[in-house]
Amino acid sequence: MSEETSSNGRNRVLVVDDDPGQVRTLADCLDIEDLDAACCHSGQEALAVCQKEPLHVAIIDLRLPDMAGMELLHQLREINPEIQVIIHTGHATLESAMEAVNVEAFAYVEKMSDPQKLMNHVHNAFIQHFEKYSARLRQEIDDHIESERLLSLSNHELIERNKEMEAELLMAREIQQSLIPNHYPHFPQDQPETEAFLRFSHRYQPSSTLAGDFFFMVPVSNTRAGLFICDVMGHGVRAALITALLRGLIEEMKPLASKPHAFLDEINQGLYRIFSQVHTSIFVTSCYLVADILERKVVYANAGHPPPVLLRRSENRLLHLSALNDDPDIALGLAGDVDYTLQEIQVFKGDSLILYTDGAFEAQNSNGEQVGMNRFNEWILQNGEQPMPELLGNLMQSLEDYCGTNEFGDDVCLFGMDFVR
């Protein structure tokens, strides 16, 4: 666990404000977002905290009792040049806003504005930190490889440097893992959790330090939940950077989250603009669906991803949410002008949906034989009476038993939802 995470595994955000009430409010907002607050009431207290632990996102007031907020920003950057600072002020002026732009503050937010807007800035600040950190790490790795070619470093020096790089890659993995949800809201959100209509679970086993599979749950409305899953071509730093980029695009496209085809259209265009500027082929397979508990249906669109499986428990059979005429739409990022197909299916009490990546059925045993979709489907039916957490756990165990290991050649991601009412 990196030092920027608390003992419960949550990322920590530095909060600096001399108003105790404001600090408590921000801490409560961060807690709702599954984040912890490192609360400080003065600039010196904040500097002392950052000397002890590498906090990478900060929310600071412009007016503090012992120094100006801009001065604190400069001193925080001296301790940690990669820290992302959000200016949060009740005394917004054009002059201070321009100064924030000039010093490259991540965001400038008035205290009376929408708290969710501030929390979105916080999440995006973590994403930007991860992107910059991964880019720097990749550059360091490239520089190290070049140094190996140009210099005849001693074996001892190489071993020590590799250990350092491995440690940094592990920290990058922890940051990437923090982007993955570890708890889910319930639906309807205005009802007690005991009355929930939907329940979610996942199992995730990366094949390397930095993974290319990613999934996310989007609260579309009080009665609709969006499930997104994707698989980035390749592994390592490049794939991890793209998953971080996808998280940012998902946040931007939330106004379209109720329309899976339009949602994927916009994400595809955003990725294509970026991918078209690089010289190597990159693409992302993806599926996005929205479960509507009022209309008892699921609407979905698919961009070249393995089709989700609907387990109809009342009939003990599987329905695959396949493309129309078995002609799937292309993966994200390959072309700019794509109209993804919208489809829908009715669901009933007791049904379950399972989204997965190709690592789940392409994993091989010691003889080089793949699991295959037929065997994967059989495993699902064998666990058809289990609630989703146990079902996914048993699927992962079957996969490990078949392969004889829990280390697979590709990332394995299982993401499920039960219609409990």
Reported as a single tens digit per residue, the pLDDT across 19-60 is 999 999 999 999 998 899 999 999 999 999 999 988 889 999
Ordered DSSP codes for 64-128 = -SSSBHHHHHHHHHHH-TT-EEEEEESS--HHHHHHHHHTT-SEEEETTS-HHHHHHHHHHHHHH
Q: Which of 8, 17, 3, 70 is nearest to 35 (CA)?
A: 8
Average of pLDDT values for 182-186? 77
Confidence of residue 138 (pLDDT cuts 50, 70, 90): confident
Q: Say what the pLDDT of residue 28 is.
A: 92
| 3-state class (DSSP) for residue 267 | helix
For residue 173, pLDDT beyond 60: no
Q: Say what the pLDDT of residue 238 is.
A: 72
- Give strand pairing partners of 352: 311, 418
* CATH code where residue 123 lies: 3.40.50.2300
Q: What are phi and psi of 60, to 5 degrees?
A: -125, 145
Rounded alpha-carbon distances, angstroms, from residue 76 to 81, 202, 284: 8, 37, 37
How far is the C-alpha of 328 from the C-alpha of 308, rounded, in Å? 13
How far is the C-alpha of 157 from the C-alpha of 151, rounded, in Å? 11
Q: What are phi and psi of 379, to 5 degrees?
A: -60, -40
Domain total of the chain: 2
Domain end point (choices 141, 156, 178): 178
20 and 114 belong to one structural domain? yes
For residue 226, pLDDT beyond 90: yes
Q: Say what the pLDDT of residue 137 is.
A: 78
Domain end point (choices 160, 178, 196): 178
244 and 391 belong to one structural domain? yes
291 and 158 belong to one structural domain? no
> Cα dihedral sign for 107, 112, 114, 119?
positive
Least confident range of 95-99, 135-139, 175-179, 282-286? 175-179
How far is the C-alpha of 358 from the C-alpha of 370, rounded, in Å? 11
Cis peptide before 188 (omega within 30 of 0): yes
For residue 403, pLDDT beyond 50: yes
Domain end point (choices 149, 178, 207): 178
Q: Say what the pLDDT of residue 47 is.
A: 94
Q: Say what the pLDDT of residue 298 is.
A: 97
168 and 202 belong to one structural domain? no
Q: Say what the pLDDT of residue 311 is.
A: 96
Percent helix / strand / coil, the chain, rounded to 5: 40, 25, 35
Cβ atoms of 109 and 87 within 8 Å: the answer is yes
Q: Say what the pLDDT of residue 169 is.
A: 55
> What does the mean pLDDT of the chain come to?
85
Confidence of residue 171 (pLDDT cuts 50, 70, 90): low
The whole model's pTM is what? 0.60
Better-scored residue on pLDDT, 192 or 312: 312
Q: Say what the pLDDT of residue 244 is.
A: 74
238 and 311 belong to one structural domain? yes
Chain position carrying tokens 């390959």: 334
Q: Which of 135, 161, 134, 167 is nearest to 148 (CA)?
A: 161
Average of pLDDT values for 373-395? 94
For residue 1, pLDDT beyond 50: no
Average of pLDDT values for 167-196? 69
174 and 202 belong to one structural domain? no
For residue 276, pLDDT beyond 90: no
For residue 267, pLDDT beyond 60: yes
Least confident range of 251-265, 322-336, 395-409? 322-336
Better-scored residue on pLDDT, 312 or 3: 312
CB-facing half-sphere around the CA of 128: CA atoms within 13 A: 17
* CATH code where residue 319 lies: 3.60.40.10
| Domain that residue 70 falls in | 1-178
198 and 154 belong to one structural domain? no
Q: Say what the pLDDT of residue 3 is.
A: 44
Rounded alpha-carbon distances, angstroms, from residue 366 to 61, 321, 370: 58, 31, 10
Average of pLDDT values for 287-292? 96
313 and 324 belong to one structural domain? yes
Average of pLDDT values for 60-81? 91
128 and 256 belong to one structural domain? no
Reported as a single tens digit per residue, the pLDDT across 77-97 is 899 888 999 999 888 888 888
CB-facing half-sphere around the CA of 42: CA atoms within 13 A: 6
128 and 3 belong to one structural domain? yes
70 and 80 belong to one structural domain? yes
18 and 131 belong to one structural domain? yes
Better-scored residue on pLDDT, 154 or 29: 29
How far is the C-alpha of 80 from the C-alpha of 352, rounded, in Å? 46
